[in-house]
Structure 1
Amino acid sequence: MVGVVTAAPVCPACGEPAADGARFCESCGTPLTSPGATPTDEGAGAGSAAPDGPAAATSPAATAAAGGCRACGGVVAADGYCEQCGARAPAPHDHEEEQPAPHVAGVTDVGVRRRRNEDSMALGVVGDVSVLVVCDGVASAPDSDIASQAAATAARDVLVAGAATVAPGDAAAWSRLLVESGHRADDAARTAVDDAVARTDPPSCTFVAAVVSPQLLVAGWLGDSRVYWLPDAGTPEQLTEDDSVAAELMAGGMSRAAAERSPEAHAITRWLGADAEETTARTVAARPDGPGWVLACSDGLWNYASAPEVVADLLRDAEGRVGADPVALARDLVAWSNASGGHDNVTVALARVAGPPAAGPAPAPDTHVADAGTTPTTRRRPAGSLPGEPDAPAP
Structure 2
Amino acid sequence: MSTPDENTKSRCPRCGELSAPGARFCEQCGFELRGQAVEGDEATGAPPTEPIPVVTVVDPDPDSSVTPPPPRLSARDHFTEKPSDWVAGVCDRGVRHARNEDAMALAAAGPGSANGTAALVVCDGVSSAPNSDVASLEAARVARDALVTFEPVGSLPVRGKIERRVAEWTQAMVAASRAAGAAVVRTGDEIARGASSSGRRSTPAIDPPACTFAAAVVDSGLVVAGWLGDSRVYWLPDDGVAEQLSVDDSWAQEMMAAGFSREQAEHSPQSHAITRWLGRSAPDHDAHCAAMLPEVPGWVLVCSDGLWNYCSEAEHVADLVHRLSGGTTDPSETAAALVLWANAAGGRDNITVALARVEPGRGEREGTDAEPADAEPAA
Letter of the 1:189 counterpart: V
Aligned-pair distance for 1:277? 1.4
SS where residue 141 of structure 2 aligns? helix
**Residue in 2 aligned with 1:240?**
246
TM-aligned CA deviation for residue 356 of structure 1: 6.0
Deviation, 1:166, is 10
Residue among 120, 135, 138 paired with 1:132: 120
- How big is the shift at 1:90? 2.3
Alignment partner, residue 343 of structure 1: 348
SS of structure 1 residue aligned to 2:270:
coil
Match of 1:53 in 2: 65
| Residue 192 of structure 1, CA deviation | 1.3
Q: Deviations over 1:286-333 (max 9, x none)?
A: 111111110000000000000000100011001117x22111100100
Partner in structure 1 of residue 134 of structure 2: 146
Instruction: Structure 2 unaligned segments of length 5 or more: list them.
Output: 1-28, 36-62, 111-115, 156-160, 193-202, 363-379
Q: Which residue of 2 aligns with 1:208?
A: 214
Aligned to 1:324: 329
Unpaired runs of 5+ residues, structure 1, are 1-13, 21-50, 59-86, 358-395
Letter in 2 for 1:91: S
**Residue 250 to residue 350, structure 1, CA distance change in 2 (3 Å):** same
Q: Secondary structure at the match of 1:267?
A: coil
Cross-structure match for 2:232:
226
2:85 alignment counterpart? 102
User: 1:91 deviation in Å?
Assistant: 1.8
Structure-2 separation of matches of 1:189 and 1:15? 23
In 2, Cα distance between equivalents of 1:211 and 1:15: 31
Q: Taking CA–CA contacts closer than 8 Å with sequence separation of 6 or more, which of the two structures ends up with the larger relative contact order? A: 2
| Contact 2:221–2:359 under 8 Å retained in 1 | no
Task: State the shift of 1:270 in Å.
Answer: 0.4
Aligned length: 285
Q: TM-score, normalised by structure 1?
A: 0.67
Q: Pairwise mapping of residues 162-181 of structure 1 onto structure 2 (< 5 A)? A: 162=150, 169=162, 170-181=165-176
Give the conservation status (yes or no) of the 8 Å contact 1:243–1:270: yes
Q: Is the 8 A contact 1:102 1:326 kept in 2?
A: yes
Question: In 1, Cα distance between the equivalents of 2:187 and 2:215?
Answer: 19
In the TM superposition, residue 89 of structure 1 has moved relative to its aligned partner by 4.3
Residue in 2 that maps onto 1:155: 143
Q: What is the rounded CA distance, in whole Å, between the counterparts of 1:150 and 1:338 in structure 2?
A: 25
The answer (yes or no) to whether the contact 2:84–2:109 under 8 Å persists in 1 is no
SS where residue 268 of structure 1 aligns?
Answer: coil
Aligned-partner Cα distance in 2 for 1:294–1:350: 6
C-alpha displacement of 1:164: 8.8
**Identity, % of aligned pairs?**
51
Does the 8 A contact of 2:123 with 2:137 survive in 1? yes
Contact 1:131 1:159 in 2 (8 A): yes
Given that 1:210 and 1:296 are in contact with CA atoms closer than 8 Å, whether structure 2 keeps it comes out as: yes
> Are the aligned partners of 1:290 and 1:356 in contact in 2 as well (CA < 8 Å)?
no
> SS at the partner of 1:123?
strand
Q: Offset at 1:88? A: 5.2
Deviation at 1:257, TM superposition (A): 1.0
Please report the TM-score for the alignment, with normalisation by the length of structure 2.
Answer: 0.70
Q: Which amino acid aligns with 2:120?
A: L
Q: Does the Cα contact within 8 Å between 1:174 and 1:218 map onto a contact in 2?
A: yes
Tell me the C-alpha RMSD between the 2 structures. 2.8
CA contact (8 A) 2:214 2:231 kept: yes
Q: Which residue of 1 aligns with 2:41?
A: none
- Structure 1 pair 124–255 and aligned structure 2 pair: CA distance change class (3 A): same
Once residues 153 and 317 of structure 2 are traced to their aligned partners in structure 1, the CA distance between those partners, rounded to angstroms, is: 33
Residue of structure 1 in register with 2:94 after alignment: 111
Aligned residue type for 2:184: A
Q: How far is the alpha carbon of 1:106 from its aligned partner?
A: 0.3
In structure 2, relative to structure 1, the CA distance for the partners of 1:112 and 1:163 (3 Å cut) is farther
